[in-house]
Amino acid sequence: MDNVLHLPSSSQTFNVGAVMERAHHGGGWLLSGIIGVNILTLGCALVSGSAFNSVAITAVHRQIFLIILLLLTMLWMLFYAVVTSKKDQAVLFKDGHAGPVWLRGGLLLFGFLSLLMDIFKIATYVGYLHCDSAVKVAFPVVQAVFLIVQTYFLWFHAKDCVQRHTNFTRCGLTLLLSTNLVVWMAAVTEESIHQTEIPDLDVNVSHKMYRGISALVSSYGSVKCKCSHSACDTFKDAFYYLYPFNIEYSLFASAMAYVMWKNIGRLVGDHRRQSVKFYPKDVRVGPVMGLLLAVAGLVTFVVYEVDILTEDEKNRNRALLIHFIMNIVIVSLMCLSTVIGCILFRLDHREHVSEKNPTRSLDVGLLVGASMGQIIISYFAIVAAVATGARGYLNALNLSWAVLTVLQLGLQNYFIVEGLHREPFHVMQEAALHTNAHAVREHPEMSVVPERQKSKYSMTSSPETLSWKRRVLKEVCVFLLLANIILWIMPAFGARPQFDHPIEIKFYKFTMWSAIVNIGLPFGIFYRMHSVASLFEVYLIS
Amino acid sequence: MDNVLHLPSSSQTFNVGAVMERAHHGGGWLLSGIIGVNILTLGCALVSGSAFNSVAITAVHRQIFLIILLLLTMLWMLFYAVVTSKKDQAVLFKDGHAGPVWLRGGLLLFGFLSLLMDIFKIATYVGYLHCDSAVKVAFPVVQAVFLIVQTYFLWFHAKDCVQRHTNFTRCGLTLLLSTNLVVWMAAVTEESIHQTEIPDLDVNVSHKMYRGISALVSSYGSVKCKCSHSACDTFKDAFYYLYPFNIEYSLFASAMAYVMWKNIGRLVGDHRRQSVKFYPKDVRVGPVMGLLLAVAGLVTFVVYEVDILTEDEKNRNRALLIHFIMNIVIVSLMCLSTVIGCILFRLDHREHVSEKNPTRSLDVGLLVGASMGQIIISYFAIVAAVATGARGYLNALNLSWAVLTVLQLGLQNYFIVEGLHREPFHVMQEAALHTNAHAVREHPEMSVVPERQKSKYSMTSSPETLSWKRRVLKEVCVFLLLANIILWIMPAFGARPQFDHPIEIKFYKFTMWSAIVNIGLPFGIFYRMHSVASLFEVYLIS
């Protein structure tokens, strides 16, 4: 923004140009949508085809399609980077809300783990080169390069509000978005098929067999084609463990590409984030309770991961029991504190933010949308448990966990959305007098209402000591934040009670249930990370 | 609006109240969303559960759930109707764009056919009362009442912009929306299962067997329970033929409920539709060509429907051949004329409508979203045809049809969206001088541009004779409109080449393919009807 203010003449002409271009952007918007839809549907058909009919469409066909997509997307990203580095007028506006640090950090972390996955894949398939297609090596190589280019691109350009070449950029971004979604679909399908390939999974199947099956299956699928080096099976095990991170990476990249696409042509005002100071000493109970819960969660998580791999049925049941109880405790406490937070929102009469904020709406949309993943898993679990009568303590605990999770997600969504739409407290104080005088001037008949409001604010929010309401609200935020972190860690690092507890597998059959979990859970993990960031923001403006 | 203007004092206080309520509507919006999501997910889990595990969750469980939903929704609709009839202040604003006549007409038509389906269902299941659950009779009874109440409700209230009790209305409308979507899901699943139940569907299975199988299957499923009256099988056949109309009805009702939900709290200006006159004599070639095409389409459709039911393989192939060729001709001509239309849009330099119009955006969103159904079917057909090599003339024709359909849908979406976003011609003429003077006063430096524009308009659009551009544009609109009608009639009244030509069934297996077609095709049918309405609008403003 500063450059604009210093160059009045050029910025003037530029702004007129931007507005003119905005008026004619309809075509590009539509064209980019059509391109995106076509790539997505074609990708969906190819992936389904290769899943349902492995004779006519093999993994090789799908990978050739993906390689073409990845190369095209990389070309566009390089072109974009070159163009924007040359003409500094191309990106004058940056959206401060887009690409927040948690999203970029997550992208980097998951990008690194996906890169590791690709390296393991290359190492594995090099061993099969003498008897299998070279495309199986080429695909992870291209994907690895793509990961580096895309992470670089999104890290530096996620905040851009493009003003020049809008039509071309729009099409490029839908290409980026749909490529990531096709990669996501392919990864989800591959992961589901990999899990389903377990020969004749029975209810009585030893649990360790399911977890340790990958080595068996991977050699199983290529009986005729032997790996030429000895580390093959280890690599194969390793890269299948890293699949969920790649799925997560694609989701992150898609979210960022979508936000960039929405920001094209936006003229953002100078919405610098007000430097809200963070006083950790304001809150005590929330962090202490939250940390205790997180540590307890971590301990039970480790116990669970160790015990669930044992052969002993009793040990495994105990592990499940501890995991279920721990989760129920966490979720119940979260529900309780969220209810307290919601009541406090009702009690304090802060105004809702009236100003339109597209990034905020988008953010809320992504949050609520991502929560659907966990909600769907929970409802399917509830139906399965209720329909089979929920006999036995494990089934009863599983049912209560699912019910409480749905409740918790609904309450937390409500809490976060309400919290984000309130005026920050400190702004209120400064603004109160101003708007008040303003209101009196314009609507003399309404002067009573703001007067009363003002007196309330000035009474409750003296800068030195926080009012009890704000204090409790902050405690609630910190507690929920820490609880969300532990609920993120558990599924992100491998806890899969959905497969360790057999009731849903029996009820829905393995294919269906693994599809639900593999689609829903990555969204659930994304939701938890997103919640942490949003709760931190709610904490700051409370 | 008139009442408002005549009652200044009451409307004044009312408006302030409305604005105040709008400021605090965040909660209701969110709560209604949470309710909708929960009903939908629970419904989805129940429907999937009953589809994948018919032992623990039977159709009876699902129907009990649906009965509860239907009763709750009816209660709310009655409550709403009573409240709005009493307080005339509750609905002061009506959105003229919402609930257009084609949508309400379609609702009435499909509602009537759904009612017929329910009557046949009742007649059938009454015959099983002595040995089957009474819920199977109760459900169609409740649904029949629901159909009447809902059609009445949507017919009279689709245009409402509710201002009072907004939170409660919001929740009620999401209840309505999610009930319709759950009914839709249940119907789609039932229809798919019904088609899949054909025992050991082989490629060599006689075609007539597939079409005539319903009688066989319906008696098959209830071997132990014999119907007590003789007309049972006839009724069962009949109601399965009416299923697609019920699916379509639910989609229509969902679309209308969604628009109503979006319109809550909107303060609409007096956007009366300008009385654009409709001169049918302006156009000649378009209607003639379109009518010829429609008649030819109808004839081949009848031939197809007769021939496809014969035992003779040769006759069936000939029917498919004629159907494919006819469709390819229609779609190619549509592509050609749409391209001409798009070029004309490039040539004439009418302004894009800059004013925000939520209903218009919603309308366009529904149109483009509905086209996804047909696009998905086409892409799956393309992948199947390409992967199997498209050997034989029928496969080659099927492939070309699918490719051309995707092209046609993309072009038509572009054409309609561009057309709807242009200023009407007659408005331009009047407005040109005014905005021009205005612009000169405010931005003296920009006076050159509007001047040039103005001269162009006044040159090209004399009121007496239409310019050739406008004339051709109108011809294109009429032609596309008639072509869309014939493309609507064929699938709506029973043409299912997707099942009559076995390549996709072989490729994707029957379950998968019938799910794709049963989900995609109703959206495709909805899309064609919607296109007809939108093209008529484009015709008027061209």
The arithmetic mean of pLDDT across residues B111-128, rounded, is 91
The answer to whether the Cβ–Cβ distance between B45 and A383 falls below 8 Å is: yes
Q: What are the residues facing B90 on neighbouring strands?
A: none
In the block, tokens 């992936």 appear at A47
Q: What does each C-alpha distance from B250 to A74, B181, B358, B366 come to in angstroms?
A: 43, 7, 23, 15
B446 pLDDT higher than 50: no
pLDDT at residue B146 in the model: 95
Phi and psi at A93, nearest 5°, equal -110, 140
* Minimal Cβ distance to A379: which of B45, B56, B509: B45
Contacts of A478 (CB under 8 A, 6+ apart): A283, A286, A287, A290, A539
Residues in chain B with CB shorter than 8 Å from the CB of A65 are none
Per-residue pLDDT band for B260 (boundaries 50, 70, 90) equals confident
Query: Coil, strand, or helix at residue B46?
Result: helix
**pLDDT tens digits for range B312-366:** 888 888 899 999 999 999 999 999 999 999 998 888 777 777 666 767 777 888 8
Residues in chain B with CB shorter than 8 Å from the CB of A507 are 49, 52-53, 56
Q: Name which of A143-152, A328-337, B136-145, B460-469 the model is least confident about.
A: B460-469
Residues in chain B with CB shorter than 8 Å from the CB of A45 are 376, 379-380, 382-383
Residues in chain A with CB shorter than 8 Å from the CB of B375 are 37-38, 41
- Give the count of alpha carbons within 13 A of A322, CB side only: 19
The arithmetic mean of pLDDT across residues B168-181, rounded, is 92
The answer to whether the Cβ–Cβ distance between B383 and A57 falls below 8 Å is: yes
Q: Work out how many CB contacts closer than 8 A connect A with B.
A: 129
Residues in chain B with CB shorter than 8 Å from the CB of A383 are 42, 45-46, 49, 57
The answer to whether the Cβ–Cβ distance between A52 and B512 falls below 8 Å is: yes
Mean pLDDT taken over chain A: 78
B5 pLDDT higher than 60: no
Rounded to the nearest angstrom, the minimum Cα separation between A108 and chain B is 32
The answer to whether the Cβ–Cβ distance between B372 and A41 falls below 8 Å is: yes
Residue of A nearest to B42 (CA): A379
Contacts of B382 (CB under 8 A, 6+ apart): A42, A45, B399, B402, B403, B406
The answer to whether the Cβ–Cβ distance between A368 and B33 falls below 8 Å is: yes
pLDDT at residue A165 in the model: 80
Range ranked top by mean pLDDT from A188-202, A275-289, B163-177, B462-476 = B163-177
The answer to whether the Cβ–Cβ distance between A509 and B52 falls below 8 Å is: yes
- Cα–Cα distance between B108 and B118 in angstroms, integer? 15
Q: Name which of A230-244, B383-397, B449-463 the model is least confident about.
A: B449-463
pLDDT at residue B203 in the model: 42
The answer to whether the Cβ–Cβ distance between A26 and B421 falls below 8 Å is: yes
* Minimal Cβ distance to A375: which of B41, B372, B512: B41
A339 pLDDT higher than 90: yes
Q: Name which of A93-102, A408-417, B304-313 the model is least confident about.
A: A93-102
Q: Which two tokens stand for residue A285?
A: 């109970």
Phi and psi at A4, nearest 5°, equal -60, -45
DSSP state letters, A326-381? HHHHHHHHHHHHHHHHHHHHHHS-PPBP-S--HHHHHHHHHHHHHHHHHHHHHHHH
The answer to whether the Cβ–Cβ distance between A380 and B48 falls below 8 Å is: yes
Q: Are the beta carbons of B82 and B165 closer than 8 angstroms?
A: no
Q: What does each C-alpha distance from B64 to A429, B67, B70, B310 come to in angstroms?
A: 54, 5, 10, 41
Cα A267 to the chain's mean position, in Å?
Answer: 27
Rounded to the nearest angstrom, the minimum Cα separation between A300 and chain B is 30
* Minimal Cβ distance to A352: which of B26, B507, B512: B26
Per-residue pLDDT band for B402 (boundaries 50, 70, 90) equals very high
Range ranked top by mean pLDDT from A25-29, A482-486, B156-160 = A482-486
Per-residue pLDDT band for A52 (boundaries 50, 70, 90) equals confident
Rounded to the nearest angstrom, the minimum Cα separation between B263 and chain A is 18
The answer to whether the Cβ–Cβ distance between A376 and B56 falls below 8 Å is: no
How, if at all, do strands A93-94 and A160-161 pair?
antiparallel
At residue B400, what is the residue type? Answer: S
Q: What are the residues facing A160 on neighbouring strands?
A: A94
pLDDT at residue A355 in the model: 67
Residue of A nearest to B58 (CA): A387
**pLDDT tens digits for range A249-267:** 998 899 889 888 888 877 7
Residues in chain B with CB shorter than 8 Å from the CB of A37 are 372, 375
pLDDT at residue A174 in the model: 93
Q: Are the beta carbons of B492 and B374 closer than 8 angstroms?
A: no
More confident of the two residues A91 and A84: A84
The arithmetic mean of pLDDT across residues B153-181, rounded, is 88
Percentage of residues of chain A with pLDDT beyond 90: 30
Q: Name which of A263-277, B102-116, B234-248, B431-445 the model is least confident about.
A: B431-445
More confident of the two residues A24 and A357: A357
A404: nearest Cα among A498, A336, A480: A336
Residues in chain A with CB shorter than 8 Å from the CB of B52 are 507-509, 512
pLDDT at residue A91 in the model: 64
The arithmetic mean of pLDDT across residues B75-86, rounded, is 88
DSSP state letters, A88-157? TTS--EE-TTSS-HHHHHHHHHHHHHHHHHHHHHHHHHHTTTTTS-THHHHHHHHHHHHHHHHHHHHHHH
Residues in chain A with CB shorter than 8 Å from the CB of B44 are 376, 379
B145, B149, B155, B158 alpha-carbon torsion, rounded to 10°: -130
Rounded to the nearest angstrom, the minimum Cα separation between B492 and chain A is 24
Rounded to the nearest angstrom, the minimum Cα separation between B33 and chain A is 9
More confident of the two residues A220 and B499: B499
B48: nearest Cα among B182, B194, B201: B182
* Minimal Cβ distance to B53: which of A376, A382, A507: A507
Q: Are the beta carbons of B505 and B210 closer than 8 angstroms?
A: no
Query: Hey, how many other C-beta atoms are within 10 angstroms of the C-beta on B26?
Result: 18
The answer to whether the Cβ–Cβ distance between B61 and A34 falls below 8 Å is: no
In the block, tokens 């269906």 appear at A512
- Cα–Cα distance between B482 and B289 in angstroms, integer? 9
Residues in chain A with CB shorter than 8 Å from the CB of B507 are 49, 52-53, 56
The arithmetic mean of pLDDT across residues A485-511, rounded, is 86
Q: Which two tokens stand for residue B101?
A: 């006549």
The arithmetic mean of pLDDT across residues B441-451, rounded, is 43
Cα B178 to the chain's mean position, in Å?
Answer: 17
* Minimal Cβ distance to B379: which of A24, A42, A507: A42
- Cα–Cα distance between B97 and B272 in angstroms, integer? 9
Per-residue pLDDT band for A27 (boundaries 50, 70, 90) equals low
Q: Are the beta carbons of B180 and B258 closer than 8 angstroms?
A: no
Residues in chain B with CB shorter than 8 Å from the CB of A42 are 379, 382-383
Residues in chain A with CB shorter than 8 Å from the CB of B352 are 23-24, 26
Rounded to the nearest angstrom, the minimum Cα separation between B298 and chain A is 30
* Minimal Cβ distance to B37: which of A30, A53, A372: A372
Rounded to the nearest angstrom, the minimum Cα separation between A389 and chain B is 9
- Cα–Cα distance between A11 and A9 in angstroms, integer? 6
DSSP state of A522: H
Per-residue pLDDT band for A99 (boundaries 50, 70, 90) equals confident
- Cα–Cα distance between B434 and A214 in angstroms, integer? 74
Q: Which two tokens stand for residue B482?
A: 């008639």
Percentage of residues of chain A with pLDDT beyond 70: 77
Residue of B nearest to A21 (CA): B352
- Cα–Cα distance between B364 and B150 in angstroms, integer? 25
The arithmetic mean of pLDDT across residues A261-275, rounded, is 67
B439 pLDDT higher than 80: no
* Minimal Cβ distance to B507: which of A31, A53, A508: A53
pLDDT at residue B223 in the model: 55
pLDDT at residue B150 in the model: 95
Residues in chain A with CB shorter than 8 Å from the CB of B406 are 38
Residue of A nearest to B352 (CA): A23
The arithmetic mean of pLDDT across residues A119-148, rounded, is 90
pLDDT at residue A240 in the model: 81
The answer to whether the Cβ–Cβ distance between B509 and A52 falls below 8 Å is: yes
Range ranked top by mean pLDDT from A7-21, A143-157, A276-290, B438-452 = A143-157
Residues in chain B with CB shorter than 8 Å from the CB of A416 are none
The answer to whether the Cβ–Cβ distance between B410 and A38 falls below 8 Å is: yes
Per-residue pLDDT band for B226 (boundaries 50, 70, 90) equals confident
- Cα–Cα distance between A505 and A371 in angstroms, integer? 22
Per-residue pLDDT band for B533 (boundaries 50, 70, 90) equals confident
Q: Are the beta carbons of A121 and A195 closer than 8 angstroms?
A: no
- Cα–Cα distance between B262 and B406 in angstroms, integer? 30
Residues in chain B with CB shorter than 8 Å from the CB of A382 are 42, 45
Per-residue pLDDT band for B206 (boundaries 50, 70, 90) equals very low
The answer to whether the Cβ–Cβ distance between B508 and A41 falls below 8 Å is: no
The arithmetic mean of pLDDT across residues A327-340, rounded, is 95
Per-residue pLDDT band for A15 (boundaries 50, 70, 90) equals very low
- Cα–Cα distance between B142 and B132 in angstroms, integer? 18
DSSP state letters, B404-434? HHHHHHHHHHHHHHHHHTBPPHHHHHHHHHH
Contacts of A167 (CB under 8 A, 6+ apart): A25, A27, A28, A31, A32
Count of residues in chain B: 542
Contacts of A237 (CB under 8 A, 6+ apart): A214, A215, A218
